[in-house]
Structure 1
Amino acid sequence: MSYDIAIIGGGIMGCATALRLAEGGMHPIVLDQGDLGQGASGVNAGTLSLQIKRVQLMPYALRGHDLWAQMGDAVGFHKSGGYTLAFNAREAELLTERQTLKAEAGAPIEFVSNAQLRRAAPNLTQNVVAASYCAEDGYANSSLTGQYYRGRLQDAGIAYRTHSPVTAIDKTTAFELATPQGTVRAKRLLLAAGAWLKPVAAMLGVDLPVQARVNTVSVTERMPPLMSSVIGHATGLLTMKQKANGTVLIGGGWQGRGTPQDGRGTVASDTLRPNLALAQYAVPSLGSARVLRSWTGFEANVPDFYPLAGALPHVAGAYVLGCVRGGYTIGPYISRLMGDFILGQEPELPLFDPGRAYTKEPT
Structure 2
Amino acid sequence: MNKDLLLWDQTIFRDEQYFELDYLPENLLHRDSQMRSVMFSVAPALRGATPLNVYCRGSPGTGKTSVVLKVFKELENTTQKVIPVYINCQVDSTRYAIFSQIFKKLFGYPPPSSGISFKKLFSQIAKHLVEKKKVLIVALDDVNYLMMSKEVNDVLYSLLRMHEVVPGTKVGVIAILSDLTLDMARDLDPQVQSVLLPEEVSFPKYSRSEIRDILSHRVKYGFYPNVVSDELLELVTQYTEETGDLRVGINVLKRAGLNAERRASKIVSREDVEKAYEGSRYIHLNYTVRNLKKEEKVLLKCIIDSGKYEMMSGELFECFKGNTGLGYTSFYEMVNRLEGLKLVNVDTTGKGTRGQSRLVSLKYDPKEVEKRLDI
Give the structure with the larger strand fraction: 1
Q: Find the structure with the greater CA-based Rg.
A: 2
TM over 0.5: no
| TM-score, structure 2 normalization | 0.26
Give the structure with the larger helix fraction: 2
For CA contacts below 8 A with separation 6 or more, give which structure has more relative contact order: 1
| TM-score, structure 1 normalization | 0.27
